[in-house]
A and B are shown apart, each in its own frame.
Chain A
Amino acid sequence: MRTAMARRISPLAWVVSAVAVLFTLTLGVSIGAVSLAPLTVWSEISSNLFGTISSANSSESTIVWQLRLPRVLLAFVVGSMLASAGCAYQGTFRNPLADPYLLGVSAGAGLGATIAIFNGSGSSKILLPLAAFAGALGAVLLTYSLGRSAIAGRSSTALILAGVAVASLLTAIQTLIQQQNTDKIREIYAWVLGRLSTSGWNDLAIITPYILVCIVVLLRYRRVLDVFAVGDEEALTMGLPVAKARAAIIVAASLGTAAAVAVTGLIGFVGIIVPHILRLIVGNSYRILLPLSIIYGGVFLVLADILARTILAPQEISIGVVTALLGAPFFLFVLGSSKNGSVT
Chain B
Amino acid sequence: MTELIVRELQVKLEKKLIVNDIYIDLSVGQWICIIGPNGAGKSSLLKALAGIIPSTGEILIDGTNVRDLSERDRACWIAYVAQEPVMPAGMRVFDYVLLGRTAHLKMLATESPKDLEIAHYVISELDLNDFIDRDVATLSGGERQRVAIGRALTQASPIILLDEPTTALDVGYQQEVLELIDKLRKEKKIAVISTMHDLTVSGLYPDRLMLLADGQVVASGSAESVLTRENIAKHYGANVTVIDHVSGPIVIPERDRL
Which residues on A are within 8 Å of B, measured CB to CB? 1-7, 220-221, 223-224, 226-227, 229-231, 233-242, 245, 279, 283-285, 287, 342, 344
Closest 10 CB pairs of A and B: A239-B75, A239-B103, A284-B90, A229-B88, A237-B80, A239-B72, A4-B94, A238-B102, A231-B86, A220-B108
B82 CB–A CB distance under 8 Å: yes
In the complex the two chains form, is A5's CB within 8 Å of B116's CB?
A: yes
Instruction: Give the chain B neighbours of A3 by CB distance below 8 A.
Output: 116, 120
Instruction: Give the chain A neighbours of B193 by CB distance below 8 A.
Output: none
In the complex the two chains form, is A230's CB within 8 Å of B88's CB?
A: yes
In the complex the two chains form, is B107's CB within 8 Å of A224's CB?
A: yes
B239 CB–A CB distance under 8 Å: no
CB within 8 Å for A230 and B95 given contacts A237-B51, A238-B103, A240-B71: no
In the complex the two chains form, is A234's CB within 8 Å of B124's CB?
A: no
Contact with A along B58-90 (1 / 0, CB 8 A): 000000000000111111101110100110111
Which B-chain residue is minimally distant from A342 (CB atoms)?
A: B89
Q: How distant is the Cα of A331 from the Cα of B80 in the complex, in angstroms?
A: 39
Q: Closest approach, in angstroms, between the C-beta of A145 and any C-beta of chain B?
A: 22
* Interface residues in B, total, Cβ within 8 A: 45
Q: How distant is the Cα of A236 from the Cα of B50 in the complex, in angstroms?
A: 9
Which A-chain residue is minimally distant from B100 (CB atoms)?
A: A238
Prevailing SS type, chain A contact patch: loop
Instruction: Give the chain B neighbours of A221 by CB distance below 8 A.
Output: 108
Which residues on B are within 8 Å of A, measured CB to CB? 47, 50-52, 70-76, 78-80, 82, 85-86, 88-92, 94-96, 98-100, 102-105, 107-111, 116, 120, 124, 129, 132-133, 151, 155
Q: How distant is the Cα of A7 from the Cα of B94 in the complex, in angstroms?
A: 10
Q: Closest approach, in angstroms, between the C-beta of B93 and any C-beta of chain A?
A: 9
New contact pairs (15) apart from A1-B120, A1-B124, A1-B129, CB-CB < 8 Å: A2-B132, A3-B120, A4-B92, A223-B108, A227-B102, A229-B86, A230-B99, A236-B52, A236-B71, A237-B51, A237-B75, A238-B75, A239-B76, A239-B155, A240-B102
In the complex the two chains form, is A238's CB within 8 Å of B116's CB?
A: no
Q: How distant is the Cα of A240 from the Cα of B52 in the complex, in angstroms?
A: 12
Instruction: Give the chain A neighbours of B52 by CB distance below 8 A.
Output: 233, 236-237
Q: How distant is the Cα of A239 from the Cα of B155 in the complex, in angstroms?
A: 9
Q: Closest approach, in angstroms, between the C-beta of A214 and any C-beta of chain B?
A: 15
Determine which of A230, A241, A342 lies in contact with B71 in the assembled complex, contact meaning CB atoms within 8 Å: A241
Which B-chain residue is minimally distant from A241 (CB atoms)?
A: B71
Instruction: Give the chain A neighbours of B124 by CB distance below 8 A.
Output: 1
In the complex the two chains form, is B89's CB within 8 Å of A284's CB?
A: yes
A-B contact pairs, 29 of them (CB 8 A): A1-B120, A1-B124, A4-B94, A4-B132, A5-B116, A7-B95, A223-B111, A224-B108, A229-B86, A229-B88, A229-B91, A230-B86, A230-B88, A230-B96, A230-B99, A233-B82, A235-B102, A236-B71, A237-B51, A237-B75, A237-B80, A238-B79, A239-B71, A239-B72, A240-B71, A241-B71, A241-B107, A245-B107, A285-B95
Q: Closest approach, in angstroms, between the C-beta of B168 and any C-beta of chain A?
A: 17
In the complex the two chains form, is B71's CB within 8 Å of A285's CB?
A: no
In the complex the two chains form, is A6's CB within 8 Å of B103's CB?
A: no
Q: How distant is the Cα of A234 from the Cα of B52 in the complex, in angstroms?
A: 8
Instruction: Give the chain B neighbours of A241 by CB distance below 8 A.
Output: 70-72, 107
Which A-chain residue is minimally distant from B148 (CB atoms)?
A: A234
In the complex the two chains form, is B70's CB within 8 Å of A237's CB?
A: no
In the complex the two chains form, is A234's CB within 8 Å of B85's CB?
A: yes
Q: How distant is the Cα of A279 from the Cα of B89 in the complex, in angstroms?
A: 11
Determine which of A235, A239, A245, A344 lies in contact with B89 in the assembled complex, contact meaning CB atoms within 8 Å: A344
